[in-house]
Structure 1
Amino acid sequence: MKKYRHIFFDLDHTLWDFEKNSAETLADLYRQYELTSFNLFSESIFIEKFNHVNNHLWALYHRGKINKNEIRETRFKKIFLELGLTESQIPADFAEVYLLSCPQKTNIIPFAKEVLDYLLPKYELHIITNGFNDVQDTKLTSAKIKKYFKEVITSESIGYKKPQREIFEYALDVSNATVNTSLMIGDNLHTDIMGARGVNMDQVFFNPNDLSHQQKVTYEINCLSELPNIL
């Protein structure tokens, strides 16, 4: 088995439980803004619509079709309009409050802390994320996992995003790592797996929903607790 020295993690959906944290935040805001008073959509439909729109916008962002501000400025407007509100009914500060509240949630993926505790004495751990500097730092701090990582590389800080090879090359350089002794762990076949493969870095596809795919991956796991079996 290859000897790894540097482990690079994706953050959202791999360590920080975006779905759970986002759903909790949206449920809080649904009540706070009394959205039920519109008699147009339930809390669950609101969360479902957010997930659909958000996933679409992030896919566009990963492919360089839109930028950070377009996600932040259009996301909730699009959601509320599709749910039947008029522009004048959309809460003016909703997007801003969501962005402040969600990163402060503390839910992490099952076994994330146990695995990080296991890995930390044996490897240098790093983050490579397409998320934004301020938000990702808050997530790491709130979830109490910032201490595990030597380097946190964000797409915003260097001007390239996964799967572009430049962000992986930068991560290797700043971490004083070599591709042959490095491993990328992430949940996204396009950004994490294809990106790492583009620089000949081994990869672990974290696939908790057991999605069917045709991608060539070095390793595949359904639960983070399986990582020690690889490492």
Structure 2
Amino acid sequence: MPPSSSFRPAKAYRHLFFDLDHTLWDFEKNADETLRTLFIHYDLGRFGTFTVEEFIDRYRDINHALWRLYQGGKITQQQLRSTRFTRTLVRLGVAEADVPEGISQHFTDLLPTKSAVFPFTYDMLRYLQTKYTLHLITNGFKEIQYIKLDSSQLTPYFQEVITSECSGCLKPDRRMFEHALERTGASAEESLMIGDNLECDVLGAFNAGIDQVYFNPEKRRHFNEVTYEISCLSELKEIL
């Protein structure tokens, strides 16, 4: 079925569940800034085989592929963290023995201290906070997500933060959404999930009986059935 193209009257929602990365917290912008810092710090230009832009592009591709494996239960959190920079630099022509020691941990420590969010994030959260109870549901690693929230001053807006580690499963597993409902005391009928990922956020919420807002800032074409679709967070005012 084609995606929803117009907004419909909202149900009597009481609980809003937000994804964090790529929905509120601008992961790509923050990651790019962090990678540029690492490129300079470890003098990666000395290898002479790639530019900082090529480093960022290759890292992004490899990281996305590893995250898909992690979300599919095929690799562990530690395997994701320990292999992404080695794979990136080796594919850019660096000998594995020359991959800087500690670069992966440095990235993990530095990234969550960045604070870029999507346009209208704070305006919408202030507006919604007066009308609904707000929560986060994220596949991101628990300790990192809390640092991101503090660094970007998002912590005060959310009552509960549900991570894959606390629920024991990953989106789109419906059990993660059911855990979120149980933990927050919300029912599926009075809840709404807002996220950027058609599989993890939209399909996962749908399978748990929860309405969804697909955040699609790049206006990617798709053929999924969604409850609502927006390209800018400011459009939430038209729904809620």
Q: TM-score scaled by structure 1?
A: 0.99
Which of 63, 68, 88 is equivalent to 1:59?
68
**Residue 188 (structure 2) aligns with:** 179
Q: Does 1:227 align with 2:236?
A: yes
**Residue 137 (structure 1) aligns with:** 146
Which of 37, 59, 69 is equivalent to 1:50?
59
Which of 172, 197, 205 is equivalent to 1:163?
172
**Residue 106 (structure 2) aligns with:** 97
Q: Does 1:217 align with 2:226?
A: yes
RMSD over aligned CA atoms reads: 0.6
**Residue 123 (structure 2) aligns with:** 114
Runs of 4+ aligned structure 1 residues displaced above 4 Å come to none
Deviations 1:208-228 (A, max 9, x none): 011111110000000001001
Trace 1:201-212 onto structure 2 (pairs within 5 A).
Answer: 201-212=210-221
Deviations 1:33-90 (A, max 9, x none): 1111110100000000011001111111111111211110111111011011001110
Q: Does 1:5 align with 2:7?
A: no
State the SS of the aligned residue for 1:97. Answer: helix
Shift of residue 23, structure 1, vs aligned partner? 0.1
- 1:97 & 1:24 partners in 2: Cα distance? 13
Query: Alignment length, in residue pairs?
Result: 231
State the SS of the aligned residue for 2:122. Answer: helix
- 2:97 & 2:65 partners in 1: Cα distance? 25
Q: Does 1:70 align with 2:112?
A: no
State the SS of the aligned residue for 1:161. Answer: coil
Shift of residue 158, structure 1, vs aligned partner? 1.9
- Unaligned 5+ runs, structure 2: 1-8
Higher relative contact order (CA 8 A, sep 6+): 2
- Give the partner amino acid of 2:98: Q
- Aligned-pair identity (%): 48
- Give the partner amino acid of 1:152: V
Deviations 1:140-176 (A, max 9, x none): 0000001100000000122111000111001001111
State the SS of the aligned residue for 2:116. Answer: coil
Which of 1, 17, 22 is equivalent to 2:26?
17
- 1:64 & 1:14 partners in 2: Cα distance? 23
Q: Does 1:192 align with 2:201?
A: yes
- 2:55 & 2:45 partners in 1: Cα distance? 10
Q: TM-score scaled by structure 2?
A: 0.95
